[in-house]
Amino acid sequence: MPTESSVEPLPADVPEAEIHPLAVRTHAKLAGAADRDPGLVRLSGKGLFTVTASPAQADRVCRLLTQLLTACEAKGWTAKSDEKAIALVPDGEPIHFEITEQTDRVRHQVTEAEAEVLRKHEERKQRAARRGDWFSDYDRPKIPEWDSVPNGQLALSLVAGYRQDGMRRKYSDGKTQRLEGLIDRVIEALAIYAASEKVWRERQERERLEAIEVEKRRRELERVVQLEEHRLAFLKHQVQRHRRALEVEAFVVDTEAAGAAEGVVAEFLRWAKGYAAVLRDDISPEVLRRKLERLNLMSNDAKIDSWRDIDHPLDAEKSQGYAYRRDAPWWLLKRD
């Protein structure tokens, strides 16, 4: 393995037999683009590695990929493809990467075709000026001042590890080194990333489970509070009946003690006694049992919907306001 202080000579064409099977398609795509586009070619997608390079670098890119994949396999790692591209999988953690050819910024040389298009534009502009017509330069041919020319210098960037501060993610050709001599360092970075990613994922999972538990406790407390509120509302309604029964019975006794109750007064007092009896019956142990079982109020595991009516208060008819239709009083309806 060459050191960073030496310059490794660039290899000749890579024999097809030495190409790693996973790199064959990427090599074919990049090399096959020479006739169509001698400049930078962008490759990515399912079954391909992410590469941005000129076709002239197809063999070297292929050698780098083969060297990298071989080093990963020596550590028991794998590679797999998703919809984005082929990713390396150190210790079960998928990591995407990209090989990019660097470019030089050089002044653009105007081609004959560009010059001809520009000349025709200027002629149209001059004819319009002679006729006094309005002419816009909006569609004037855009000729770049600078070009980005591939220079054969390659860089490998890890598209991962952004949660690991200080982690080196880019490795590239330099004055005294070539990317081929940095594969071991790339492997080390991949191992560090995989380990730190596992720690991060475990922390995320722990925080997720803790959040679920907190939400579970919150919902349970909400349920318990709601259940207690419903129990209190039910008790309030029964106490209303008990208090009303006592008040009605006391009224009947006092009225009868005041003197002979005859005619409509006697009839009214008999009705009042019946009303008190209805109230008493509605809070009897048997009726309470049926209500509580139907409402499931005394089960500590019960979940009572907030919209559910908890029995009916004595003065429920008052809550109806001035509705167009008023229901019959509860004591005239069939009870449980």
Tell me the pLDDT tens digit for each residue of 44-60.
999 999 999 999 999 99
Residue pair 180/8 in contact by the 8 Å Cβ criterion:
yes
Confidence of residue 165 (pLDDT cuts 50, 70, 90): low
Residue 166, pLDDT score: 65
pLDDT for residue 329 is more than 70: no
Residue 318, pLDDT score: 45
Supply the DSSP symbol for 215.
H
Close Cβ partners of 314 (under 8 Å, ≥ 6 residues apart): 237, 240, 241, 244, 330
Residue 156, pLDDT score: 95
Residue 220, pLDDT score: 92
Q: Model confidence over 114-163: pLDDT tens digits?
A: 888 888 988 888 888 888 888 887 788 888 888 888 889 999 999 865 56
Q: Model confidence over 69-114: pLDDT tens digits?
A: 999 999 999 999 999 999 999 988 899 999 999 998 888 888 888 8
State the DSSP string of 64-99: HHHHHHHHHHHTT-EEEE-SS-EEEEGGG--B-EEE
Residue pair 176/5 in contact by the 8 Å Cβ criterion:
yes
Residue 328, pLDDT score: 57
pLDDT for residue 4 is more than 80: no
In terms of DSSP H, where are the helices of 22-165? Answer: 24-31, 58-74, 112-131
Q: Model confidence over 188-246: pLDDT tens digits?
A: 999 988 888 888 889 999 999 999 999 999 999 999 998 998 999 899 999 999 999 99
Q: What rounded mean pLDDT belongs to the chain? A: 84
Residue 17, pLDDT score: 52
- Rounded-to-integer distance, Cα 246 and Cα 280, Å: 9
Residue 311, pLDDT score: 76
pLDDT for residue 295 is more than 90: no
Residue 308, pLDDT score: 62
- Per mean pLDDT, which range of 92-101, 253-262, 280-289 is the poorest? 253-262
Confidence of residue 16 (pLDDT cuts 50, 70, 90): low
Confidence of residue 309 (pLDDT cuts 50, 70, 90): low
pTM above 0.85, yes or no: no
314 vs 336, residue with greater confidence: 314
pLDDT for residue 317 is more than 50: no
- Rounded-to-integer distance, Cα 328 and Cα 296, Å: 27
Residue 8, pLDDT score: 41
Residue pair 198/91 in contact by the 8 Å Cβ criterion:
yes
Q: Can you tell me the mean pLDDT for 262-279?
A: 92
Q: Can you tell me the mean pLDDT for 64-69?
A: 95
Locate the domains of the chain by residue range. Answer: 16-206, 229-332
Residue pair 200/93 in contact by the 8 Å Cβ criterion:
no
Query: Per residue, what are the HEC states of 222-252?
Result: HHHHHHHHHHHHHHHHHHHHHHHHHHHHHHH
